[in-house]
């Protein structure tokens, strides 16, 4: 495990985070961390398909909690993975990395495709995970819950570009210029060339349901990828989950409605502490 000072943040969030790498499963994983010496809780954040990404919400949460954003192998800026892999196979790798980076109990935050990763880590570490926050989590969902077709399997004739809308900017994210968003799309499409997404995470969900692990599922009312019908999926498969539609929130709740996201996460942590 190595750490280095944060890069110059410019207009980007995350200037107070320290960046480093951790070895797990034979891979090198990037991570970023920040928080007080005596945090109220530890949050392990698993990002969406564009990889490690700082946010306004993480900056705020790091004022009270230790926040660790952990990049899966081959996601984001990491282009050192090429072998085909089902997303469920990331579970043991991420679990090993989390065990190297944390001691004691923690909460998981899974964003978009990272929601499936969070579910697998939670299933592997049931006695350490106190709760799971799914931010526009892709699992559990069915094709009818998606506003666009799911990414094709690696090696299929269909290009993943067909499954995604043209990159768009949002005035609530002034650093996300067209060039920035296009760069995110580029690394996302590269990752889809080798990973087979898991929108069901059935085994992990079964374990979490059986244990009764608290789950907060957040979906923006203006989410551009997932439809509100996903709530039915949670009622069927994770009935203990608190599913909430967030007004004016896009898929990226942490940057489009950061104050609301932080309040919801803090209230969830407090409610779990009272159980």
Q: How far apart are CA 170 and CA 158, in angstroms?
A: 29
pLDDT at site 12: 87
Which CATH superfamily, name and number, covers 2-273?
Answer: Alpha/Beta hydrolase fold, catalytic domain (3.40.50.1820)
pLDDT at site 169: 80
DSSP 71-107: PPTTSTT-----S-EEGGGHHHHHHHHHHHH--S-EE
Helices H, strands E: what count in the chain?
Answer: 8, 11
Q: How far apart are CA 91 and CA 119, in angstroms?
A: 8
Pair 77, 54: CB distance under 8 Å: no
Q: What is the pLDDT along the chain (275 residues), one digit of tens a residue?
A: 655 444 444 478 999 999 999 999 999 999 999 999 999 999 999 999 999 999 999 999 999 999 999 999 999 989 999 899 999 999 999 999 999 999 999 999 999 999 999 999 999 999 999 999 999 999 999 999 998 765 555 555 544 444 555 567 889 999 988 899 889 989 998 999 999 999 999 999 999 999 999 999 999 999 999 999 999 999 999 999 999 999 999 999 999 999 999 999 999 999 998 66
Q: Give the distance from CA 75 to its chain's centroid.
A: 12
Task: Identify any residues that bridge with 109 across adjacent strands, giving them in sequence order.
Answer: 45, 133
pLDDT at site 149: 62
What phi and psi, each to the nearest 5 degrees, are found at residue 264?
-65, -40
Token output for 68: 């660790």
Whole-angstrom CA distances from 151 to 1, 138, 156, 164 are 33, 12, 10, 8
pLDDT at site 236: 97
* Sequence ranges of the domains in the chain: 2-273
Q: How far apart are CA 218 and CA 27, in angstroms?
A: 31
Q: How far apart are CA 251 and CA 245, in angstroms?
A: 11
pLDDT at site 147: 87
């Amino acid at each position: 495990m190595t750490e280095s000072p944060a890069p110059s943040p410019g207009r980007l969030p995350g200037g107070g985070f320290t960046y480093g790498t951790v070895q797990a499963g034979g891979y090198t994983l990037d991570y970023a961390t920040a928080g007080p010496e005596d945090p109220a809780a530890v949050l392990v954040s698993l990002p969406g398909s564009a990889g490690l990404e700082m946010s306004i919400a993480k900056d705020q949460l790091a004022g009270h909690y230790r926040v660790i954003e952990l990049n899966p192998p081959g996601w984001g800026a990491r282009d050192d993975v090429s072998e085909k892999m089902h997303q469920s196979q990331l579970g043991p790798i991420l679990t090993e990395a989390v065990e190297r980076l944390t001691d004691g109990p923690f909460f998981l935050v899974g964003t978009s495709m990272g929601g499936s990763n969070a579910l697998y880590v939670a299933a592997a570490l049931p006695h350490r995970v106190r709760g799971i926050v799914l931010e526009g989590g892709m699992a559990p969902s069915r094709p009818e819950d998606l506003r666009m077709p799911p990414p094709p399997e690696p090696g299929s004739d269909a290009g993943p570009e067909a499954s995604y809308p043209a990159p768009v900017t949002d005035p609530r994210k002034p650093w996300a210029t067209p060039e920035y968003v296009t760069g995110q799309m580029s690394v996302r499409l590269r990752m889809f060339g080798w990973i087979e997404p898991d929108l069901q995470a059935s085994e992990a969900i079964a374990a979490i349901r059986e244990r009764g692990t608290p789950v907060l599922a957040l979906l923006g009312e203006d989410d551009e990828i997932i439809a509100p019908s996903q709530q039915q999926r949670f009622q069927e498969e994770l009935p203990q989950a608190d599913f909430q539609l967030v007004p004016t929130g896009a898929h990226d709740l942490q940057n489009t409605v950061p104050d609301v996201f932080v309040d919801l996460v803090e209230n969830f942590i407090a409610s779990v502490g009272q159980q």
